[in-house]
Structure 1
């Protein structure tokens, strides 16, 4: 069997390709749900103290083999004028905490006083994840009204919106005083990236639908309907994501490498297979049909994304017409199918093909989901004994793409990243027309590499890097990146992140696809809306449940 090499970083790490990413079976929410099924997590309501208008609190308990966790949800009145998706909001329809254990009455009282305040609250190490969400007001009201009448909501409205609630933040890792990541990183259930966050959103999805059904029952006792299972499954959790998330992939280069390496390793394994059996072909075709259905449901107001969707639909038609004959008649059929995509499909179609090819090969690739976490501190040490000549050689070998930019041009040096004092969030400024460039964040990797390369030209080749950094410590972060990239090819995004034409949403989509997000809807080049868990099973669909008291 010919082993296929991993796609090189000059292909994989380009911003335009990253901005065409699709979720795969290695995405964090998929890995979390497989773990729930494998370990038979038991999910059931432990408390449901909501009034006729749906205000109050609820606790959803999750029993795992080694520990128990709880989603504690608070639903509170909110004036329409205060409902906003902006991160600087001060009130929300609902707020949540993922709690370590099962809270007693005293803990519920503490949480009730703090969780609805979010950033302004006070938290403990028992509080693992903090989140909040607002209703999609028209759809939520429509669903409650129809169910109270004993009817189902309009399927078109469900499809057009796709969620009853949208989160405005899901915080972890010590934010605002909640538990540090170190507290849970060694627990098997949360060892993978963002597993606790994905569990929180999964449970929020269940809570929001249960909340709508509760309000319908209270409005029309004995007459209200339950939401149809097919309509129910179409509903995910919405999210609006902007520039605050974009710098993450730059600030965590080794973590980015691990994510990319896992996906590319999985793809190479599938491409290297000598044959395609009937089961894998059927699985591929079923995944293709599901993707085509998702494309039909994927709504966007963005002109560029709308055009990309039309191309993707046409790409899927091409795949449908060719896949059967390629997989049945070619040597190394999966490699032949990938080459077909590479030669004939758009970037959206090519990256969709990656997701489709992984889908029927869980036994071959799923274990790679457990390799996507890392200890970043262990690899971020600078080798001060390395010579300046050797460091120059690493730049020439691994950063030719960066050296090709001309940062003397206004277009290449058009923007700067900074943190807004008002919102405490990353923002992107226009260098030549806006103030604040003196507060620039160190995210212009390509420019900094070019500047370090120029500095090294003046250093003796045999001089150790430590001598350079003693006199010029401002280069420490750049030296660290160069040394890290030498053995980790997917650490760097092959693009100029301060270029006038750079689209931040390419960074957002790449990261969100690893989460498992779908139906990307750009609202500008700086923020987009997504859906999480749309079409996915609910906890009760895939795990064994304890007998639970009815929710009334």
Structure 2
């Protein structure tokens, strides 16, 4: 049956188009969604074991997390920060909040060591008992507004909240061995609660959201004990955590092709099962209609000042009306969801096509959610010495035909370059003739490297037609890394993004949005083509909801709060 499904999966050329990847939406298989499902299903116990905050909300907080398998601690430090010091850029050295996710209980001695190091972030060091580090800055205007309203005994206006969507935004989340933390192999093998990709990082953001809500309630009550009210749970769920993501994230999908292929393959496997196996019953068709209406409202409520994103949202909402009509016209003749998907492919934008797919996944959890443990892969990048050079040529011509079609002699196809800044070792994008640093460029444009390897390979075959890869590399040692990549990635269906990252008009935003969609992020607000603000966990259940029935938080909407404002 899996083989049959594999045959129905979308082709690599379609799925790995960068513009399509940059149009993905979060889904039931996104990492935040799978993490929250695990928390709710296993009924984790999360409670404050220490909440030593002064009346202004500064101090130390520790949340104790007990799962069916283990005990963990979320440790957070809240310190005064002037508006002049508040900076979302990676060069910042101070933040409103800094935090760590740790294994086990945190005693006094360890807490003091964390207090000395966690607020320093990159300048500090922790040990392998720590899974993840993060920092966050306050959204000052919204935080102050919410605090004023609660202190006066009123609930804040949902429309004001919708303009921002969060009380804090995180500017970086670290894990996987950085700064002395536990590496991924330890986390994956020893702690099953966090054995899915980016689970520690996603959880630390979930706990940051919880603290932001607890803190604003605390400050309101401490400052106005006679009049203050606590934030309504409906508004609490509407708050997410902000995130600022820039070029630092862009190379990840290229540098971790095996892992990325696994992410995409699991999503495409789920989609193929839903499109070709699931029956569009009456109640599921009705649910699809409901989610279309919900999506229209969700994207209408999305706030951005970016002209291109505004237009993308407008087109999406307009096309969703057409989707709704098309679905009604199909009626009882709709035998599989693939009929709607195929029509979408021919008629509507990538944004609409991929939202239709996300909705299809949403309404068939019985065919999808069991795949959530299939996102991990152990990399195995080894040169296949037994391969002949002619076999390597055939692999390139078959799997990298897209790269061979690009004319890299055209300056417009080759003058963008990626490099790491000397100050912070963060990726940057430059252009030949305009920016210095081309001699230090990163080997990120895979297509151009493949083309170079292919040209040398053809020359080599003309002289050594019966040679093998080992002898080719002895003659061309500089080609070792790209040959290893070609051999490795050709074993995976969706490992290579089909885009020229050296193109003058390359859109790093598509790389950022693709990865963020797999994380589960929504409401993208591009600030340029190089970085984006977005919202995490908006609509997600609270820790007080654990053990209770909760609604799906796919496409969260602004809550109706008229009675709360009365």
Q: When the two structures are superposed, what TM-score results if normalisation uses the length of structure 2? A: 0.93
Quick check: 1:173–1:181 contact (8 Å CA) kept in 2? yes
- Deviation string 1:355-402 (CA, Å, 9 cap, x unpaired) is 0110011111112221111101xx211101211110000000111100
SS of structure 1 residue aligned to 2:524: strand
Counterpart Cα distance in 1 of 2:340 and 2:107: 56
Corresponding residue for residue 445 of structure 2 = 444
Counterpart position of 1:518: 522
Cα deviation for residue 273 of structure 1 reads 2.2
Residue 548 of structure 1 corresponds to none
| Cross-structure match for 2:481 | 477
* Aligned ranges 1:288-367 → 2 under 5 Å: 288-326=292-330, 328-332=332-336, 334-367=337-370
Residue segments in structure 2 that go unaligned for 5+ positions in a row: 550-566
Contact 2:22 2:510 in 1 (8 A): yes
Secondary structure of 1:166's counterpart equals: strand
2:280–2:334 Cα contact (<8 Å) kept: no
The answer as to whether partners of 1:49 and 1:57 remain within 8 angstroms in 2 is yes
> Which residue number corresponds to residue 549 of structure 1?
none
Residue in 2 aligned with 1:430?
431
Q: CA deviation at 1:525?
A: 0.7
| Aligned counterpart, 1:130 | 133
Matched, 1:198 2:209: no
Q: Aligned to 2:321, what secondary structure does the other structure show?
A: helix
Q: Secondary structure at the residue paired with 1:72?
A: strand
How far apart in 2 are the matches of 1:480 and 1:543? 49
**Aligned match of 2:560:** none
Distance 2:522 2:181 in 1: 28
1:168 to 149, 168, 171: 171
1:34 paired to 2:57? no
Q: Distance in 1 between matches of 2:166 and 2:510?
A: 23
Shift of 1:274: 5.5
Distance (whole Å) between structure 2 residues aligned to residue 485 and residue 219 of structure 1 = 58
Could you give the per-residue CA deviations for residues 496-552 of structure 1, whole angstroms, max 9, x where no partner exists?
A: 00100111000000000000000111111111111100112123213479xxxxxxx
Structure 1's unaligned 5+ residue stretches are: 546-552
**C-alpha contact (below 8 Å) 1:418/1:428 kept by paired residues:** yes
User: RMSD value over aligned CA atoms?
Assistant: 1.6
Is the 1:287–1:359 contact (alpha carbons within 8 Å) kept by the matching residues of 2? Answer: no
Per the TM alignment, residue 411 of structure 1 is displaced from its structure 2 partner at its CA by 0.4
- Contact (CA 8 Å) 1:41, 1:544: kept in 2 or not? no
Please tell me whether the aligned partners of residues 390 and 461 of structure 1 are also in contact (alpha carbons under 8 angstroms): no
Over residues 126-182 of structure 1, what are the superposed CA-to-partner deviations in whole Å (9 max), with x where a residue is unaligned?
111000000000000111111011101122210000000000000001111122112
Change over 3 Å in CA distance of 1:118–1:317 after alignment to 2: same
Alignment map for 1:55-204 (pairs within 5 Å)? 55-186=58-189, 187-204=191-208
* Contact 1:416–1:440 (CA under 8 A) maintained in structure 2: yes
Q: Secondary structure at the match of 1:407?
A: coil
Structure-1 residue corresponding to 2:381: 380
Preserved CA contact (<8 Å) 1:202 1:538: no
- For these two proteins, the number of residue pairs brought into alignment is 542
**C-alpha displacement at 1:483, in angstroms?**
1.1
**Aligned equivalent of 2:561:** none
Partner of 1:228: 232
| Contact 1:358–1:365 under 8 Å retained in 2 | yes
C-alpha deviation, 1:279, in angstroms: 4.1
1:237 to 223, 237, 241: 241
Q: What is the alpha-carbon distance in structure 2 between the residues aligned to residue 325 and residue 32 of structure 1?
A: 38
5 Å-filtered alignment, 1:538-549, equals 538-543=542-547
Query: Distance between the aligned counterparts of 1:240 and 1:522, measured in 2?
Result: 10
Alignment match, 1:404: 405
Q: Distance in 2 between matches of 1:172 and 1:543?
A: 29
Determine helix, strand or coil for the equivalent of 1:218: helix
CA–CA distance in structure 1, aligned partners of residues 57 and 130 of structure 2: 24
- 134-143 or 530-539: bigger deviation: 530-539
After TM superposition, the structure 1 stretch with the greater mean CA deviation from structure 2, 185-194 or 306-315, is 185-194
Mapped to 1, the partners of 2:121 and 2:536 lie a distance apart of 22
Give me the TM-score of the superposition, normalised by structure 1: 0.95
1:458 match: secondary structure: helix
Contact 2:453–2:482 (8 Å) recurs in 1: yes
Match of 1:208 among 205, 212, 217: 212
Q: Is contact 1:388-1:462 (8 Å) kept?
A: yes
Q: Is the 8 A contact 2:64 2:72 kept in 1?
A: yes
In 1, distance between residues paired with 2:67 and 2:287?
Answer: 30
Counterpart secondary structure, 2:201: helix
